[in-house]
Amino acid sequence: DAKTTQPNSMESNEEEPVHLPCNHSTISGTDYIHWYRQLPSQGPEYVIHGLTSNVNNRMASLAIAEDRKSSTLILHRATLRDAAVYYCILRDQGPNAGNNRKLIWGLGTSLAVNP
């Protein structure tokens, strides 16, 4: 299974942008990059996903390197409510993925936001 590498923890100040990196050097052509976040004592929440092109939604932006071996989740203005563990996950979405479509969760990056 493809794996991702993320820093254990990061810190940001409120109202500033945050760039959360993720390395996935063994990504395959049919792997989508998914980001979820988990607030304390809650279930994870979908943030964004992408394949090759950069993506934007109301929560965040996803910047994907041209070789797809790394990506960055961008929170444009961090708030205290953004303090969470952020998970970068590869998921095979190809037609032959079968049971390999499951999400494989790592340890994520614990983001602290300072007021």
Partner 1 sequence: DGGITQSPKYLFRKEGQNVTLSCEQNLNHDAMYWYRQDPGQGLRLIYYSQIVNDFQKGDIAEGYSVSREKKESFPLTVTSAQKNPTAFYLCASSIGPASIEAFFGQGTRLTVV
Q: Which residues bind partner 1 (CB under 8 A)?
A: 32, 34, 41-46, 49, 87, 93, 97, 99, 101-103, 105-108
Q: Is the dihedral of CA 95, 96, 97, 99 positive or negative?
A: positive
Which stretch of DSSP H or E encloses residue 80? none
Q: How far is the CB of 86 from partner 1 (least distance, A)?
A: 12
Residue 21 or 106: the one with the smaller Cβ distance to partner 1 is: 106
Q: In angstroms, how far apart are the furthest CA atoms of the chain?
A: 47
Q: How far is the CB of 66 from partner 1 (least distance, A)?
A: 22
d(CA 77, CA 18): 7
Q: How far is the CB of 7 from partner 1 (least distance, A)?
A: 15
Residue 41 or 115: the one with the smaller Cβ distance to partner 1 is: 41
d(CA 19, CA 83): 13
